[in-house]
Every structure is written in C-alpha cells, then in structure tokens.
Structure 1
Amino acid sequence: MRTRITAAALAALAAGPAAAQGIDETVNQVFANSTGWFVSLIFSNFPGTSFPWIVGWLVIAATTFTLYFGVIQLRAFGHAIALVRGDYSDPNDAGEVSHFQALTTALSGTVGLGNIAGVAVAVSIGGPGATFWMILAGLLGMASKFTECTLGVKYRNEYADGTVSGGPMYYMVKGFAERGLPGGRILAVLFAIFCILGSFGGGNMFQANQAHAQLINVVGDYPGWITGVVMAIIVFLVIVGGLKSIASVTEKIVPFMAALYVGTALIIIAMNYDMIGQAFYQIFAGAFTNDGVVGGAIGALIQGFRRAAFSNEAGIGSAAIAHSAVRTKEPVTEGFVSLLEPFIDTVVICTMTALVIIITGQLIADPTTGMFVLNEAGDQIRTVTGNTGVALTSDAFSSAFGWFRYVLVLAVVLFAFSTMISWSYYGLKAWTFLFGEGQTKELIFKIIFCLFVVIGASASLGPVIDFSDAMIFAMAIPNIIALYLLMPVVKAEMNRYLGRLKSGDIRKYE
C-alpha cells in the first residue's frame, strides 16, 4: 500500500497541481477510512475526561521510575554533565559516538515544533499554569529516559566493524530471554513496525511539510516539491554516511539552534525583567486556580502534561536507539546522560517559549469562553488553535524584534532537518532489526525515507501523517511494558556503578 501511494503521489506531482490534489484527496479518504480507528484509539481520552490515555500511560510510567530509582534525575544530574564533558570517556570503548554526540542526536529528534507551536497551544488553552505542569512532566520524564537508555546500551549488538545496533527491540528480545520472560520478540516486532511507520510520517513528512509552510510565509508561494527535493538531497547526503555522519551534523546544529532560540528568548526576558516576577506568579497561581482557563486547574494540568509528553518523547523508546551507539562499557552512564534530554527539551526550551509569550502580554482571557486568546491591536482578538501555535510564538518574539519571523523560519527549518535525520536512524535500526543488517538493505530504507521527504513537502496528506504520528506514540505501549519488567536490571546496574563511583573505583579518564 505504501509503495503504491508513493508512486501515485510522485506521478501526480509530475502531472501538475490538479492531479496532485486529486491524488491527495484520494489518499486522504483511503487512509481516513482504513486507519482512522487506530488514530482514534491511540489519542482517545479517558472516559469522562479530556485527558488522552496515552499521555497518562507515559506520565504514570515516568512517576513510577522516578520513585523506583530514588529521584535519580536529581541525584545524577551533576555526574551526567561530567559525562557529557567527556570526563569519564575512554575512546577505546566499544561504540560509534561520544556521550555528547549521542545526546545531541537524540535531542535533534525531540527538539522541534513541539517547543515552538506546542507550547503556544498549551498556554493558549491551559493558561500560564500549563507551564508548571509541563515543567513537572519534563522532570518526571527524565527518569523514563534514564531507564530506557540504560537498557538500550546494556542489550545492544556490537559488530566486528565497530558499528552497533540497539534500542527497545534488542532489550525486549535479549532482556526478556535473560530473565526468562515470554513475549519479548512479539513486543519487539510490534515496536519495530510502529517505529518504521512513525519515522516516515511524524519524523519525516510532517517535518518537511511544516518547513515548507514556514518558508513560503517569508519568500512567497512556490511548489512544495522544490523544498522537498532540496531537503531530500541534503538529508540523503547526511544519512548515507551512517550514524557517525549524523552525529557530526547534530553536534553542530543542535547547540547552534538551541543557543539561537534560547538566546533570543533570554534577551526578550531581560528586556522585560520587571515582568519576570509577575510571569512566574501567573505560572504557579494558574496551575492551581480556575481563573480564565478552560477546565480550570485540571485543564492546565492536562495541557502541560500533554505538551511535555508530545515534546520530549520520554518513554517512547526512540532515544534509546540513538543513545545505544555511545562509546562506553558502562550502560548506566548513558542512562545518566540521557536524563539531560527532557531537561533541555522541556524544562529549558519549552519554558523559555512560555515565558516569552506570557511576559510580552500576548495572552488575554476571553470572558465569554474562558479561552486564552491572542491579544492583538485594538479590541480584536483571535482564538489560538493548533494551527496558529507557531503564529502566537512568532508574534510574541516579534513584539520585541520585528525581524524574529526570519529567525523563526531558520529555526523551524533546522528543527525539521535535525528531526528528520535522527528519525531516519531510528527507522533504519527498526528496519534492520526486521530485515537484517547489510548495506543494500540499509540503502533501500534510506532511499524510501528520502522519497517521503519530497511527498511530505508537496502534499497535505493529513490522515497519513495522523496515522504515522499515532504510530510514534504507539511505540510507548510495548516499550513501557518492557521497561516495567526490566527496571530491576537497571536498578542493579545503577547501584553497582554508583557504589564503585563512591568508593573511587571509577575515576576521571585522563
């Protein structure tokens, strides 16, 4: 089915806009009819609430791991930074990339539009108080990342040529077998299928589509296939070199785009320093009061948790694939490094976005609906929806710097590009798990992945992208089941390593 859709879409592009639109509508209808039930299942709410059960699944797991590992995200934070600096790194250890490169590769897969548009949606619906719950969910998610990435390294496959393959597929099979648990291979196959389909959509087509949408806002309308072809060529040139090539790019892009975005936010916050206290008051007060928020304090909680879960992907299992390639002989060290990821993604970058929106006075409460809306010139107000999240963030930043919309376009394109190259690696490792290792098999996947970049930028395949986005979050179902069953293994690794670190058996590498 996917091959036929790809061929049809490409033929439509060659035939012209009218044919492309006809194919687009056909694909939309076919997917809506055949996969709508799956999308509804994954993103459905708990009965009687507006809280998606998949978000609850992620948050409950994060809370469980936080308690089980004794708030490891706080206890190991300092040591994690030391590991990223390379203080304990031996270049002779097995693996392909450094701790820093593994972290930036995983971060490039999570830092993206969720930090720009998603936060705007959260505070527009849940009010400033949603920021508090978003931060809390990010802190809890650090424990989920710690758990899955430790297991990813422990049960990875190491090959003679120095390459490695790891991630949930491998700890489901090898970890379950080691503990005498049934069903590991079934969970692994399900996870791999979800990961491949998710990489084509949410990790690829959606990113290309949004990048093109931002570009035409600045340079004017032009065919999406042009953006798609250019991005596909660049993506292919990076991913054809394997993880080392991907890591060498992400270690440069991620710090740059984070510094660009956070730096601009900090300047705006500093320019409005007299509003910082009031902003934090709104965040904390709004988290527990009902004023001007749809759903009151519960509405703020729902939006905060939802945006954090959708932004940092803690518990999804994707990051464990990237972190598994690190050079180390101590699996738990990469678990420590990985817990920095939700902190950077959610606690730092998402919070910066929320603070700028609040401080610049972009939100007011609509007295008739209780909905927070964008405060525009005069008495006109425009309700903020999921489609205008980027516009709200852009307006907030542009209130201080009129040129920021150009910076935002650069940020969106860089976020989209880095997300695509990271998700190409996630999809590739799931692909090789199902079909076997080998250069030819890997090349086939990379070519297919790049074709979907062109399709994503060219068409508005809503139900296709919704389906693949649901696949990404479906990855959390088998992954968290595995984490619950294997967390005693992680605890044994953690206690052993921390005991040796305390006794002085583990020292900084010189």
Structure 2
Amino acid sequence: MHKLLPAAALLASASAASAQSVDEKVNEIFANSTGWFVNLIFAPLPGTSFPWIVLWLVVAATIFTVYFGFVQFRAFAHSISLVKGDYSDPNDAGEVSHFQALATALSGTVGLGNIAGVAVAIGIGGPGATFWMILAGLMGMASKFTECTLGVKYRNEYADGTVSGGPMYYMTKGFEERGIPAGKFLAILFAIFCILGALGGGNMFQANQAHAMISGTFGDYPGWVTGILLAGVVFAVIVGGLKSIASVTEKVVPFMGVLYVITAIIIILMNADMIGWAFGQIFAGAFTGLGVAGGMVGALIQGFKRAAFSNEAGVGSAAIAHSAVRTKEPITEGFVSLLEPFIDTVVVCTMTALVIIITQQLLIDETTGNYLLNEAGSAIATVDGNSGVALTSAAFSSALPFFKYVLALAVILFAFSTMISWSYYGLKAWTFLFGEGQTKELIFKIIFCIFVVIGAAASLGPVIDFSDAAIFAMAVVNIIALYFLMPIVKRELQSYTSRLKSGEIKRYNA
C-alpha cells in the first residue's frame, strides 16, 4: 500500500499539470486569434486615448434622450404599470408576458458585468467611473426604448405562436418600408456580430468569472471542469426554447437580484457613516484627478465602457427578447425595456461600487497608509491587485467572511441566467442567417455550450477584451439603423400617448 502512494501522487500531479496545460493552450490560441478585432473596435480617436466606440454610444444615447423628450423619465410610472400587467391582453400575439420579457432581458444584462465589470471600472478609472456609469445608465434608457419598440413592431409571427424579432428584422423590414437600401446587409452584419457577442460576452466572460469565483471560494481547480458542469446545466434549459428560458429567468432573476442587493445594502449600512464620503469620492473622481487612468477622461471612458457592457443599451440584444412579448402595441415594450438600464446600472452597479469604495478604504492602515496584510503577508485587497470578480469578492468578504459564499451563489446565478438569455439572442441571429428548423437550432446550442467550456478555461484578459469588442461591434451596426428608424418610433409614441390620454387604451387590471 505504501509503495502505491508515490505513484498515485505522481499520477495526480501529472493530471493537474496536463489540465493546466490545456487551460494555457486554450488561452494562447484565443488571445492570438482575436487581437486584431479588439484593436479595431477600441481604436482611439486621432490624437487622443478616447476610444471612438465610447463616443459613438454616448452621442447616440444623448440624441435619443433629447429626440424623445426625456421619455425615460416621463414614462417611468407607466412602464411599471405595464410590467404589473395592468394593460396586458392575454389574447395578444406573442410568447411571453411583459414581466417575463423584462426578466429574460434583465437576466442577460444584470450579470457579471455588475459584479466584475464595476470592479474593473473602479480599478482602472477610480471611484469617479461610478458617476459616469450612472449617467450612461440613465441616458441608455432612451436607447433601449428605441430599439425594443422597433423589435416588436417588425417581428415575424409564425403560425405555431412563436416569434422572431430583433435588429435583424427591423433593419430588413424597416429600411424596406422607408425605401432605404442596405437594410439586408446591415442585418446580416449585425447577426454575425450578435453570434460573436453571444459566444463572447454572453457566454465565455460569464463562464470565466464564474470559475474565478467558484475556484477562489472553494479551492482552485482547472477551468474546463467548471465549463463542463455549466455547459451541461445550460444545455438542459436552452434545449426547451424561449418559454423554458423565460420560465427559469422569471424565477431566478428576482431572487438573485434581491439576494445581491440586500447583501450589498447590509455592508453599506454597516458602514453608514462612510456613505457620504463614498459619494464624495465618486463625484470628485468624476471631475478631478482621482481617476486612476487620466483623471476625468479615464473615469469617463471606464464608466461608459462598463455601463454599456453591463446594460447593453444601444447594442440591440435585448430587442430580441422583448420581441417575443404578448402585445399589439410595440411602444409598450419600449416603455418596459427602459427599466432595464435603470435596474441594471443605476441600482445594481451603484450598490457594487459603493461596497468596493467603502471596503477598500477600510482595508487601509491609517498609520502607514498601506493596505492591511493577511496571514500570508500580502494585501487583503487592492484596486490594482485584484481584477474583475476577485476584487468584488474581496470587498464583500472584508465586511463579513461568509458573504463570499453569498456572492459565489450570486455569481453562479448571474452567469447561468446571462448565458441562457444570450443563447437565445445568438440562436435568433443564427436562424436569421441559416433559417428556422430544429436541427439548425440544435447545432447552434451545441456550439454555444462548447464555448462555455472554452470561456471557463481562458484567462480574464483575452476574454473580457473579446467580449467588449463583439458586443460593441453589434452597437455600431444597430445604432446606424436606429438613427434611420427613430422617426417611426416617434410616430408610435405620439399615437399611443394620445390614445392613452383619451382612454382608448384599455386597462385590464384596475
């Protein structure tokens, strides 16, 4: 028996080394094959360090906000009434309710961007990045309103009760209706980017950070193990289609959202005397030199980048989920969808930011000005010593040690729900390109699950770069279409508003 122990130990060591080499190989191949794409999307404006894509999103959100008369604030109360079902006719065409559509879309946005993304933004842009995240979220509500209204208006409704919608369809039909060429070309281009976005930000980034959280909490092990387990669970849900996805997300999203927010609130209230100071850091960092990367500009860039990655306003992805709603009034889903950036960025991201900013300050030794050390002699948590979900985990755990397990559960749920929602987005882009059919759908679902494993095995850097690039590439094409089609949305808004005031719009639940 004793003679067998060294052999067993050697076998275990060789297995671990082999597993590690698989992770490293996957990462190397992935990084080398996507670098050009990342560089293209995030190229800076000439003579500056400001990425052109960030300006593209900022300008679009501002234009939609002004063009629709600050609709995100005027229609906020009515949006809540719609989500409650006050104006829902069960006989309308569509597959899911307003609440289910919102939950499905939120499950694709309220995810690890809120946990890991905020940490990345603060780590690079300082506390001031939070201010720009909030502003981006508020303005992004108008972008979301525009694209989701169009998603419902130009969707395809099939005899079996299913629907297909999203930017691919309003680019094709909307442009044709207005007599504008190139709609089909833009639709194909968007569909390609959507598939890349689904495999990247909606899949690999989620699997990557889920593995980082799980292995950091329960012990280190190869990423592909997490990937295989996640892939199995994801496949079991997405094989049932949108109704299966909506059934899961309408239960998971409220639970994980409440769990995460309550945990954050507890930590914030434990340090209530520092709330005012934290907001002071946020505002000061937004307009002065507190931002780590170039003061105000660095904070602004990181804030808008991470907000856009988190809430996806202007990207067009959520329009795919909202297109399946049961309604005969396209504008109603535009109203419902504008709640997403508010919940995702203004509420959840701000909670994460406050926890990180407050706990980071608490971990500084007042005497030396250095970060406190753990038993191993290394800093418990530093902005530049942790990236992504590791920093958020350190921040939560510093308040109460067992909170890291709560956060681990939240991360798993966030990652899982985001992946199943993005699988639907990618699937609709896939069927737009290759046609409807169970076999074609199954092929994409298998490919999607393979990329779950790849994402868990790759390192954070290449994954987050590719994720950002793919999703922002969707926004480039989508926003071009929104500019051409926003007059149609305005007519829908004016028509619905006048009928609502006259009492023509029927309220089903008083």
TM-score when normalising by structure 1: 0.90
Alignment match, 1:412: 411
SS in 1 for 2:508: coil
Is residue 186 of structure 2 the alignment partner of residue 182 of structure 1?
no
Residues 23 and 224 in structure 2, CA contact (< 8 A), matched pair in contact too: no
* Correspondence 1:4-23 to 2 at 5 A: none
Task: Report the Cα offset of residue 250 of structure 1.
Answer: 0.6
Task: Report the Cα offset of residue 499 of structure 1.
Answer: 0.8
Residues 204 and 463 in structure 2, CA contact (< 8 A), matched pair in contact too: no
Hey, what's the Cα distance between the residues in 2 that align with 1:465 and 1:398? Answer: 24
Is residue 112 of structure 2 the alignment partner of residue 116 of structure 1?
no
Hey, what's the Cα distance between the residues in 2 that align with 1:389 and 1:467? Answer: 15
Aligned length: 490
Residues 64 and 146 in structure 2, CA contact (< 8 A), matched pair in contact too: yes
Residues 147 and 490 in structure 1, CA contact (< 8 A), matched pair in contact too: yes
* Correspondence 1:78-89 to 2 at 5 A: 78-89=77-88
Unaligned runs of 5+ in 1: 1-14, 367-372
Alignment match, 1:44: 43
Residues 1:403 and 1:364: Cα distance change in structure 2 (over 3 Å): closer
Q: Give 2:163's aligned amino acid.
A: V
Q: Give 1:163's aligned amino acid.
A: T
Residues 1:357 and 1:19: Cα distance change in structure 2 (over 3 Å): closer
Task: Report the Cα offset of residue 461 of structure 1.
Answer: 9.2
* Correspondence 1:329-348 to 2 at 5 A: 329-348=328-347
Alignment match, 2:267: 268
Hey, what's the Cα distance between the residues in 1 that align with 2:94 and 2:164? Answer: 10
Hey, what's the Cα distance between the residues in 1 that align with 2:370 and 2:230? Answer: 33
TM-score when normalising by structure 2: 0.90
Task: Report the Cα offset of residue 454 of structure 1.
Answer: 2.7
Residues 23 and 222 in structure 2, CA contact (< 8 A), matched pair in contact too: no
Task: Report the Cα offset of residue 465 of structure 1.
Answer: 6.8
Alignment match, 2:507: 508
Alignment match, 2:322: 323
Alignment match, 1:201: 200
Residues 1:29 and 1:279: Cα distance change in structure 2 (over 3 Å): closer
Task: Report the Cα offset of residue 376 of structure 1.
Answer: 3.0
Residues 1:401 and 1:389: Cα distance change in structure 2 (over 3 Å): same
Residues 1:389 and 1:232: Cα distance change in structure 2 (over 3 Å): closer
SS in 1 for 2:472: helix
Hey, what's the Cα distance between the residues in 1 that align with 2:475 and 2:18? Answer: 38
Alignment match, 1:432: 431
Unaligned runs of 5+ in 2: 1-13
SS in 2 for 1:327: coil
Residues 1:118 and 1:33: Cα distance change in structure 2 (over 3 Å): closer
Residues 109 and 423 in structure 1, CA contact (< 8 A), matched pair in contact too: yes
Alignment match, 2:473: 474
Task: Report the Cα offset of residue 33 of structure 1.
Answer: 5.0
Hey, what's the Cα distance between the residues in 2 that align with 1:461 and 1:227? Answer: 15
Hey, what's the Cα distance between the residues in 2 that align with 1:51 and 1:288? Answer: 16
String of CA shifts for 1:6-31, please: whole Å, max 9, x gaps.
xxxxxxxxx96666666666665555
Q: Give 2:271's aligned amino acid.
A: N
Alignment match, 1:55: 54
String of CA shifts for 1:336-356, please: whole Å, max 9, x gaps.
000000000100000011112
Hey, what's the Cα distance between the residues in 2 that align with 1:401 and 1:464? Answer: 30
Residues 1:488 and 1:36: Cα distance change in structure 2 (over 3 Å): same
Q: Give 1:376's aligned amino acid.
A: L
Hey, what's the Cα distance between the residues in 2 that align with 1:193 and 1:211? Answer: 26
Hey, what's the Cα distance between the residues in 1 that align with 2:372 and 2:330? Answer: 52
Cα root mean square deviation, aligned = 2.5
Task: Report the Cα offset of residue 251 of structure 1.
Answer: 0.7
SS in 2 for 1:388: coil
Residues 1:461 and 1:495: Cα distance change in structure 2 (over 3 Å): same
Residues 1:473 and 1:69: Cα distance change in structure 2 (over 3 Å): same
Residues 1:168 and 1:248: Cα distance change in structure 2 (over 3 Å): same
Alignment match, 1:358: 357
Alignment match, 1:136: 135
Task: Report the Cα offset of residue 357 of structure 1.
Answer: 2.0
Hey, what's the Cα distance between the residues in 2 that align with 1:108 and 1:467? Answer: 21
Residues 1:362 and 1:375: Cα distance change in structure 2 (over 3 Å): farther
Alignment match, 1:450: 449
Hey, what's the Cα distance between the residues in 2 that align with 1:80 and 1:64? Answer: 21
* Correspondence 1:156-305 to 2 at 5 A: 156-291=155-290, 293-305=292-304
Q: Give 1:264's aligned amino acid.
A: T
Residues 1:141 and 1:104: Cα distance change in structure 2 (over 3 Å): same
Report % sequence identity.
78
